[in-house]
Structure 1
Amino acid sequence: MPAPAAHRPEAPPRRRVDMPLVYRYLGDRRFAYTLPRALSLQILDPGDAASLVQHVHGGLWAHKSRAVGEMVYIAYSNRDLTAVMRTAHSHVKGTDSNGERYHSLNPELFFFQHATYVDTLFTSLDVFHGGIGPDEKDQLYRECCRWYAKYDISDRAQPATYAEFVEYFDDYCRTHLQMTPDAARLREETLHPPTWYPHSVPHAAIRAMLHPRAAELLDVDVTAADRAALRAYAASTNLRMAITPRKFRLMSSARHDPDA
């Protein structure tokens, strides 16, 4: 017979297991809506721009839908997928617009591309989620470092802390980015996505999302009207997401069994 309720020992409190922040936000479609910010920075890196011109066929954003989908799948997976990035990028090499040789697996070049996604992830939190505090920023950045480790690419360019990452990113954008013929060729499609999630984002909101250095080099004048359009778009998107089941707030590549 069970003990009377008054004398029944209390069950230990259930320990709350918090979802890692990178799982909570990276696969969210609102991150995908913010991706023109990342791509606008990538096309201004001469090596990245050359790789997109020389090795991408069938449309810039169709390529990004596949590449980012794979990236998100890896981030959410517990499987060993360390060979995926090396296999996918081993042939991506050539000469950029400045006559310099590039290889997409060069640790500095590869990490900067990853860094544009990290910067865009933090920007999506500011735009759509009201931002996060300093401790959460540190936590999310540590989780982004673990995500990067899944690629098995040298992390020699990766800063150790979020504060160091911000300093690195600002310095790289100031000293390495430039408007090249390849960037000029990619500019229109970058700012006016013809397909995938960013296609639904108003052009004015895309302009307002741009990193200041990208706006400067791409000759984009970000106006108060653009910033208002971004706020309106974020508000309407959040209303729609509030009535959408979590599964469908995620990109399809984030909706999988992590061990599958």
Structure 2
Amino acid sequence: MCAAAPPLAFPGAGGSVCAMPGEPSEPPGPPEPLGPDSLTWRYFGDWRGLLLAPWSGALQNMHPQLAAGVAEHSRFFEERWQRLLRSLYPIDGVVYDGPRAAETARQVRGYHATVKGTDARGRPYHALRPEVFYWAHATFFMLTVLVGDRLGPGLSEADKRRLFDEHVRWWRLYGMSMRPVPDSWEDFQRYWDRMAEEVLEDTRQARDVLDLRRLAKPPALRLLPDAVWRALRGPQARATLWLTVGLFPPAVRRRLGYVWTVRDERRLRRLGRAVHRAWKLVPFERRYHPRARAAWRREAGRSRGRQALVETPARNLPPLAERDLPQHYSPRV
């Protein structure tokens, strides 16, 4: 018999400990992976999503349980680019790995099994509480919506309902409880607003995500002289913060003390249209992360047989002393 979790001091974090990793209440039958006919495939592995990395990172770290896990179990801020770029491989794989997507999802879930403890205010947390794990998933879903709607061609309400249904299939691959998942796109919007207004907090970890003033040079710009990067870093940090704030839910902007004007909104819409027009000039495969690119090639028949999954290059691996820790994706490359 399973014991109930201790009551917590904020909404959305209760539930039975035994419901965390398994025994999900979900429709019968194995979860069905997403495929190239899905809108999620079209937008999730798109490199434009990197522009929203601070947005999703800040929202995730505004959840008090996620922030506590990052504070006690993560070195994200010490190896920011490496952690971000390597994490994209298994996260994208849950969407793009086809028949192996459920296996990838179990691996991703497993990285979070040991992330638990008690936060600075005495509140217990566990990364695999369904409500907590679902919040991170919800930010990835909404990132997909924003790429298509604000940086892409725009999405109809029917498109958003379709993406919602696909995100439920995506969630089922993790084998988690269905309890926190809203029933419809309309219910999800109410859930999203409630999380922004009642659950998310102004945490140090979220503020650290948004502080890009000392961000290291991205690997793609490794040939750029350090002095040039230092000169560019300040304007880049301000522009990224502006974009991030503009895409936040209004309640989050208020909680963090940011102001967003009608003029800002008009400028953001113009920027989104410009990004969409420019992106159409990029060759199709170059628009996608390597794991997603390999999936599109597989579905087009350019890959034969059961190919090895594309894994992160060695430059993105965790520090040598930490590569065997259970919370790290660290393939043998």
Instruction: List aligned pairs for 1:34-45, cutoff 5 A.
Output: 34-45=52-63
Q: Distance in 1 between matches of 2:45 and 2:110?
A: 23
Q: Secondary structure at the match of 1:94?
A: strand
SS at match of 1:89: coil
> Per-residue displacement from partner, 1:131-169 (whole Å, max 9, x unpaired)?
222222111111111111111222210112111111111
Structure 1 segment 31-180 matched on structure 2, within 5 A: 31-57=49-75, 58-78=78-98, 79=100, 80-81=102-103, 82-180=105-203
Give the corresponding residue for 1:250.
Answer: 288
Moved more, 200-209 or 236-245: 200-209
The answer (yes or no) to whether the contact 1:97–1:180 under 8 Å persists in 2 is no
CA distance in 2, matches of 1:183, 1:136: 30
Contact kept, 8 Å, 1:42 with 1:48, in 2: the verdict is yes
CA–CA separation in structure 2 for the residues paired with 1:61 and 1:97: 27
SS in structure 1 of the partner of residue 259 of structure 2: coil
SS of aligned partner of 2:117: strand
Contact 2:152–2:275, Cα closer than 8 Å, also in 1 = no
Higher relative contact order at CA 8 Å, sep ≥6: structure 1 or structure 2? 1
Structure-2 residue corresponding to 1:12: none
Which moved further from structure 2: 106-115 or 67-76? 67-76
Secondary structure, in 3 states, of the residue corresponding to 1:178?
Answer: coil
Q: Check 1:213–1:185 CA distance in 2 against 1; reply closer, same or farther (3 A cut).
A: same
CA contact (8 A) 1:47 1:103 kept: yes
The two structures have a TM-score, normalised by structure 1, of 0.81
Q: 1:230 aligns with which of 245, 261, 268?
A: 268
Tell me how far 1:22 sits from its aligned partner.
Answer: 0.7
Match of 1:13 in 2: none
What is the RMSD computed on CA atoms of the aligned residues? 2.7
**Equivalent of 1:23 in 41, 52, 58:** 41
**Which whole-Å CA distance do the structure 2 matches of 1:165 and 1:193 have between them?**
34
Deviation at 1:241, TM superposition (A): 1.6
Q: How far did residue 222 of structure 1 move?
A: 2.5
CA 1:229–1:66: 2 relative to 1, 3 Å: farther
Q: 2:263, 2:219 → 1: CA distance?
A: 25
**CA–CA separation in structure 2 for the residues paired with 1:193 and 1:48:** 22
Q: Which residue of 1 aligns with 2:247?
A: 209
Deviation at 1:104, TM superposition (A): 0.5
- Tell me if the contact between 1:72 and 1:254 (Cα under 8 Å) persists in the aligned partners: yes
In structure 2, the CA distance between the partners of 1:172 and 1:140, relative to structure 1 (3 Å rule), is: same
CA contact (8 A) 1:41 1:211 kept: no
Q: Which sits farther off after the overlay, 123-132 or 242-251?
A: 123-132
**Which residue number in structure 1 is paired with residue 278 of structure 2?**
240
Separation (CA, whole Å) in 2 of partners of 1:119 and 1:206: 13
Equivalent AA in structure 1 for residue 40 of structure 2 = V
8 Å CA contact 2:59, 2:206 repeated in 1: no
Change (3 A) 1:205 1:226: farther
Larger Rg: 1
> How many pairs are equivalent?
242
5+ long unaligned stretches in structure 2: 1-34, 221-232, 299-305, 308-333
**Higher deviation after alignment, 249-258 or 109-118:** 249-258
TM superposition outliers: structure 1 runs of 4+ over 6 Å: none
Which TM-score applies when normalising by structure 2?
0.65
Over 3 Å counting, the alpha-carbon distance change for 1:240 and 1:196 in structure 2 is farther
The Cα shift of 1:67 comes to: 2.4
Distance 1:50 1:120 in 2: 23
The question of whether the paired residues in 1 share the 8 Å contact of 2:93 and 2:292 is answered with: yes
Distance 1:53 1:71 in 2: 21
Question: For residue 210 of structure 1, what is the amino acid of its counterpart?
Answer: F
